Amino acid sequence: MFQRSVIFSASNPPDGFFLSSGQPALLDYFSQRHAHGETLELTALQVSYREGSNEAGLAPRINRRADDIAAGVIGAKAAIDCNDRAIVLWNQGGP
């Protein structure tokens, strides 16, 4: 599923904080969030990059909703490998 590993972190009330760099734990996390009906809606995206770099920085703003957390707008920081077309870092804030 993933072409390469991704470092993923999320502020995750009510449990606290989630961090993973492996596919099995990340898929388990996604399954748990899906069970809570979590939805993420992208509302804005800032992209930054430097000439000669194969990675671009992302700063999305997201509407996050689930049955176990308060709905709210969150920010994230991410990086994408432009050669592999893969997200390699995702750090998601909380409500």
Q: How many domains does the chain have?
A: 1
On whether residue 93 sits in a domain, the answer given is no
On whether residue 21 sits in a domain, the answer given is yes
For residue 1, pLDDT over 70 is answered with: no
On whether residue 94 sits in a domain, the answer given is no
Structural domain range at position 27: 7-88
| Rounded Cα distance, 27 and 81, in Å | 20
pTM for the full model?
Answer: 0.82
The neighbouring-strand residues paired with 78 are: 58, 90
On whether residue 18 sits in a domain, the answer given is yes
On whether residue 2 sits in a domain, the answer given is no
pLDDT digits (tens, 9 = 90+) for 34-89: 999 999 999 999 999 999 999 999 999 999 999 998 899 999 999 999 998 888 99
* Residue in 21, 10, 40 with CA at minimum distance from that of residue 88: 21
For residue 6, pLDDT over 60 is answered with: yes
On whether residue 1 sits in a domain, the answer given is no
